[in-house]
Amino acid sequence: MSGVTAAEAVEPSRLKILLLCDNHPAHAATLHAHVECFERYSRHAVTTFNPCYAPDVTVPDPDEYDVVVLHWSLVITMDSYLSPALRARLAASQGLKVQFIQDEHRWVNEVTSMMRYLGVHVIFTVAPPSEAPKLYGDRVPGAEVVHTLTGFVPEELVGLEVPPPSERPIDIGYRGRQLPYWGGARTQEKVLIGERVLERAAAYGLRCDIAWTEESRLYGEAWFDFLLSCKAVLGTSSGASIADYDGRVEREVRAFLEERPAATFAEVHDTVLRPYEGNIDIDVVSPRIFEAAATRTALVLFPGRYSGIVKPWVHYFPLALDAGNLEEVARCVRDAASVTRLTDRAYDDLVGSGRYALQAFVREFDAIVERSV
């Protein structure tokens, strides 16, 4: 014990952790931040490796590690992410196996079958506690299910000097994305909110920069510069309202669209999706909520649960699903004092508190693996 402090004497031994992920440089900054935080903040020894298309002989031996983490950037059922040989080695390994997963409303039966084969012990899910049993439960018996978030506060934005509302030329900005129909009505809100604001914006004199095509998307510094030019940004929850357990929903939608390629979501929903709608209710906060809070950009959101993290009129201006209250929201967005009060609260609660920092997340991760090995 010579030279060892009392604190060091009771500290758990350092674990060897292998993090398997697809950290290709082209991926979004949110993915890279999530991958890199393990090596940066874990008190354990983390080795990061991208197995995508890698020769099996180059992949570290799972048996040399206490913990293997399968990151959500990998689709564990696809050979291009995990080769059959690597999956067999993982299944045979004796260490703790941890799965992070997102977009978990798709391929549920196939993915959970692979989790059973691999012997996953801990699942970090973004599904709310009320919904996770519908996805896992008996499908991965014995696995511990831990709730987590889709993203965290971007470290590079903490404490950033930002322009006041009066110096931001855009009243309401937005960059959305058209998602496949088979995730249900919730996935379509990302386009719906942009459409409904644009339809009415001119009537209230709003200066908007709103788009949802792939060509209009912004990444990296360009996205943060865009946020800093907006008094407010639109947003919706992440998640889905349909879980496609066996791929049937996707197949039925694809078949319908092959016959009627110009069909609207409403037509697809009425004909195909209605029997499945609401079989899952994943309504969670997205990384963009934290990005807006960090840049002190006001949030204009459809009402929702947002993982219980943000509240209407406290952290965001609520916009009715039919945008019927846009006149009221427009008054708030154009009032610098209202925007400042809202964004100050959002910054203090979401960013300044440190509750949603990557360091806090890694502390939770470390505690879970330490008691599970």
Segments making up each domain of the chain, as ranges = 11-149+357-372, 155-352
Band of pLDDT at residue 7, cut at 50, 70 and 90: very low
Quick check: do 11-149+357-372 and 155-352 share a fold? yes
Q: Which CATH number is 11-149+357-372's, of 3.40.50.2300, 3.40.50.300, 1.20.1250.20, 3.20.20.70?
A: 3.40.50.2300
For residue 16, what are the β-bridge partners?
45
pLDDT in tens, 263-291: 999 999 999 999 999 999 999 999 999 99
Q: How far apart are CA 210 and CA 337, in angstroms?
A: 24
Instruction: Determine the pLDDT at residue 3.
Output: 52
Residue 45 has pLDDT above 90, yes or no: yes
Mean pLDDT value of segment 149-172 = 96
pLDDT in tens, 176-228: 999 999 999 999 999 999 999 999 999 999 999 999 998 999 988 999 999 99
Burial of 30 (0-12, 13-18, 19+ CB in 10 A): middle
Q: What is the CATH number of domain 155-352?
A: 3.40.50.2000
Which of 51-55, 186-190, 366-370 is least confident? 51-55
Pick from 296, 270, 81: which is nearest to 181 by CA? 270
Tokens of 59: 């992949």
